[in-house]
A and B are shown apart, each in its own frame.
Chain A
């Protein structure tokens, strides 16, 4: 973690591209300011030595076995949502497939 929040405008653009977000110039400069402020603030986590601490991804890691969910349900065939119901929520569909603009750009 960098000691000071030092996100550059290039970082903002790279991350926006990774996140499939289009940022206007105005939003971009606000984002730069906000990300630097927030990352500056979170850098206080560096005060803690966590080299021997295993990461905790899920609450189930810290509760007793009897309380831990059985992760997988029985592998049984059950009906799923009807295709027409699912397709009815899509912006553009031919009833079988979701339709999108052309994928190959060049």
Chain B
């Protein structure tokens, strides 16, 4: 069931801006061609939950006006983008993939989206995702699963499955996703696109419907590394509306892209190549590492000894934070309210019972249990202690290496329905990504090969806190060598 990825070579951000600037194309015409692609392709993929033609054309026309007047164009002028439906845009729906927010329209715009649009990007619509970003396959969306553009019977990964599939399917040049335990990197790997997990604090979380606040991050998906660097540069930066946002200045992430890897020390942690790693994924990653070595990188075997404890640690911390964050969905202030409830407490329970899907309930239950009297120290506090051990592993490793190379996911995209009845096996799809989430470091997934069946395979590059420029430079080399 493998199908051709994209009929046309995807446009890059530089192509788009240059074509509008030179008058060979117009932002409105480019937007129209992407809406046409959505109309013809998305019935099979289901990456968009809503499109907003009028709003997009109004903004594209403004870019065309600027170009007609010969005025300088902003960096993302006319670039068609899609936004994961957990990020808010004033006046537009924000479902978070959940029934409980059906019909809700956001009263304000997320900072990351506001920055994209201020740089000239044209938002085409809101993208499908696992409910409240909880999932690794996009099968937990209350509005239906997303299909992988490379093989329609396979998942696109999750939770930002729509964001990855839209780029892979040529239905956006760039998209925003969110990553709490791997939700940008894993779908990027499954869909053969680039996805960045910025350092915690690098991109504002204002306007992101919270899942696990100490882990949640916003980041871009694009078809190539340079575009990812450009979009990251636009959305990064301090935001007074997010108290965890970093005051560090934002460098030009495209400046060092072509410096190559000669002399860079790249760590390869043994723990990420143990049991459970698919043979084809291993072969693709090892080939990529050999290419980097041939290009002058110093490949160093390293150890991140607590890696095997990352998934249990992650699922305790993420669910504990989620159980608190999702308490706000109670049928009072926004979204869905169950009709037939005579008392306040019955209304809360019925609204949440009908509004939340199975995985969200499972995580709320696990998190509530882990935080409840008598269990807090044994579960939540224990997980926070192991979180520090996992983070210390990385801090020690980064004293010796400039970046770390691992597989992004243990397998290529799996089949729809394959893991949906077994939460534990689904959680293990995140085994290589949750570590960076817990440590707060940056990471990305860059395509590095394909399986025999033509399914994409992603290489994960992990970097020090706020060293996005380094992982982008390594990723650029991987992209060139692949």
Residues of A that sit less than 8 Å from B by CB: 1-2, 7, 11-12, 14-16, 18-24, 27, 30-31, 34-35, 37-39, 41-42, 44-46, 48, 50, 53-60, 62-63, 66-73, 81, 85-86, 88-92, 98, 100-103, 105
Please determine whether A55 and B315 come into contact, CB atoms closer than 8 angstroms: no
Residues of B that sit less than 8 Å from A by CB: 104-105, 107-108, 200-201, 214, 238, 240, 243-248, 306, 308-309, 312-313, 315-316, 323, 327, 330-337, 341-350, 352-353, 356, 358, 361-362, 364-366, 368-369, 372, 375, 378-379, 381-389, 391, 395, 423-424, 427, 439-440, 465-466
Residues of A within 8 A of B107 (CB): 81, 85-86, 88-89
Known: A1-B382, A22-B352, A42-B316. A48 touches B369 (CB 8 A): no
Instruction: Report which residue of A21, A24, A71 has the largest number of chain B beta carbons within 10 angstroms of its beta carbon.
Output: A21
Cβ of A24 to closest chain B Cβ, rounded Å: 8
Smallest Cβ-Cβ distance to B362: which chain A residue: A34
Please determine whether B366 and A35 come into contact, CB atoms closer than 8 angstroms: yes
Please determine whether B385 and A20 come into contact, CB atoms closer than 8 angstroms: no
Residues of B within 8 A of A70 (CB): 247
Tell which of A1, A15, A72 touches B365, judged by Cβ atoms closer than 8 Å. Answer: A15
Please determine whether A98 and B333 come into contact, CB atoms closer than 8 angstroms: yes
Cβ of A76 to closest chain B Cβ, rounded Å: 10
Residues of B within 8 A of A86 (CB): 107, 333
Please determine whether B465 and A63 come into contact, CB atoms closer than 8 angstroms: yes
Residues of B within 8 A of A55 (CB): 381, 384-385, 387-388
Residues of A within 8 A of B439 (CB): 59, 62
Q: Can you spell out 20 A-B residue pairs with CB atoms less than 8 angstroms apart?
A: A12-B365, A16-B365, A20-B345, A20-B348, A21-B352, A23-B361, A27-B358, A31-B365, A35-B365, A38-B424, A39-B369, A42-B379, A42-B383, A50-B386, A56-B385, A57-B384, A58-B214, A89-B105, A89-B333, A98-B332
Known: A50-B386, A98-B333. A27 touches B346 (CB 8 A): no
Q: How far is the CA of A101 from the CA of B349 in the complex (A)?
A: 13
Please determine whether A54 and B388 come into contact, CB atoms closer than 8 angstroms: yes
Residues of B within 8 A of A98 (CB): 332-333
Residues of A within 8 A of B352 (CB): 19-22
Starting from the known contacts A21-B361, A103-B343, 4 additional A-B residue pairs (CB-CB under 8 Å) come to A20-B352, A21-B349, A24-B353, A59-B201
A-B residue pairs, 7 tightest by C-beta: A59-B440, A55-B384, A91-B337, A50-B385, A42-B312, A1-B378, A56-B388
Please determine whether A67 and B391 come into contact, CB atoms closer than 8 angstroms: no
Please determine whether B388 and A91 come into contact, CB atoms closer than 8 angstroms: no
Residues of B within 8 A of A38 (CB): 315, 366, 423-424, 427
Residues of A within 8 A of B315 (CB): 38, 42
Residues of A within 8 A of B350 (CB): 22
Cβ of A1 to closest chain B Cβ, rounded Å: 4
Q: How far is the CA of A38 from the CA of B336 in the complex (A)?
A: 30
Tell which of B214, B331, B368 touches A15, judged by Cβ atoms closer than 8 Å. Answer: B368
Residues of A within 8 A of B345 (CB): 20, 105
Tell which of B244, B245, B382 touches A45, judged by Cβ atoms closer than 8 Å. Answer: B382
Smallest Cβ-Cβ distance to A50: which chain B residue: B385
Tell which of B313, B335, B379 touches A1, judged by Cβ atoms closer than 8 Å. Answer: B379
Cβ of A101 to closest chain B Cβ, rounded Å: 5
Tell which of A7, A27, A41 touches B361, judged by Cβ atoms closer than 8 Å. Answer: A27
Residues of A within 8 A of B388 (CB): 53-56, 62
Cβ of B428 to closest chain A Cβ, rounded Å: 9
Residues of B within 8 A of A71 (CB): 243
Please determine whether A100 and B332 come into contact, CB atoms closer than 8 angstroms: yes
Residues of A within 8 A of B424 (CB): 37-38, 41
Residues of A within 8 A of B306 (CB): 48
Residues of B within 8 A of A45 (CB): 309, 312-313, 316, 382-383, 386
Tell which of B201, B348, B356, B391 touches A56, judged by Cβ atoms closer than 8 Å. Answer: B391
Smallest Cβ-Cβ distance to B437: which chain A residue: A59
Please determine whether B389 and A100 come into contact, CB atoms closer than 8 angstroms: no
Cβ of B274 to closest chain A Cβ, rounded Å: 15
Smallest Cβ-Cβ distance to A86: which chain B residue: B107
Residues of B within 8 A of A92 (CB): 337
Please determine whether B389 and A91 come into contact, CB atoms closer than 8 angstroms: no
Please determine whether A102 and B243 come into contact, CB atoms closer than 8 angstroms: no
Q: How far is the CA of A30 from the CA of B336 in the complex (A)?
A: 25
Residues of B within 8 A of A15 (CB): 365, 368-369, 372
Q: How far is the CA of A91 from the CA of B417 in the complex (A)?
A: 35
Instruction: Report which residue of B306, B312, B395 has the largest number of chain A beta carbons within 10 angstroms of its beta carbon.
Output: B312
Please determine whether A18 and B368 come into contact, CB atoms closer than 8 angstroms: yes
Please determine whether A102 and B366 come into contact, CB atoms closer than 8 angstroms: no
Q: How far is the CA of A18 from the CA of B243 in the complex (A)?
A: 29
Q: How far is the CA of A100 from the CA of B338 in the complex (A)?
A: 11
Residues of A within 8 A of B395 (CB): 62
Please determine whether A50 and B389 come into contact, CB atoms closer than 8 angstroms: yes
Instruction: Report which residue of A23, A38, A44, A46 has the largest number of chain B beta carbons within 10 angstroms of its beta carbon.
Output: A38
Please determine whether B312 and A44 come into contact, CB atoms closer than 8 angstroms: yes
